[in-house]
Amino acid sequence: MKIDKKIIKELTDCLEEFNLTELEYTEKDTKIKVSKNNVSINNQSIPIQNKSTIDDNPKATTSINSGIEITSPIIGTAYHAPEPGAKKFIEVGKKIKKGDTIMIVEAMKTMNHVPSTSDGIVKQILVSDGQPVEFGQVLVVLE
């Protein structure tokens, strides 16, 4: 069997261009799967699209040093409110209780409420409204 390196190169370029972690291509009886090496989320830098848009709070862009981290349970798109224009679930400085919804992660047209894993005060919100998130990505840090 001869492997077409051109197809693999194109698929690898698509991974980078669309910021994907895995891509699968099937044509007749040929199946090619390309994926990036996954690194523990604790060792990755947190992508911040626009520092001024995260709750308009400059403290929200500081690095994570301590606190309780709440992570995304699934891959999807994070939303800060139940619908556009509605009041946000949480804000920096707000006191929350275990089980309170901190945000919604949409995956395959399903809105998944992300609950707080403990009581605390919101120290940082690390994702923008409408930002794609990965499984295990830190969404919020509590004091």
**133 touches 72 (CB < 8 A):** yes
Model's pTM, two decimal places? 0.54
Q: What is the DSSP string of 90-131?
A: --TT-EE-TT-EEEEEEETTEEEEEE-SS-EEEEEE-S-TT-
Distance CA 125, CA 110 (A): 22
* Tens-place pLDDT, residues 26-69: 877 777 777 776 443 343 444 444 444 444 443 333 444 578 89
Sequence ranges of the domains in the chain: 5-35, 44-142
* Tens-place pLDDT, residues 118-138: 999 999 999 999 999 999 899
Domain range 44-142, CATH class: mainly beta
Task: Please report, as a single letter, which amino acid is at residue 109.
Answer: K
* CA dihedral for 44, 21, 49, 94, sign (positive or negative): negative
Number of helices (H), then strands (E), in the chain: 1, 10
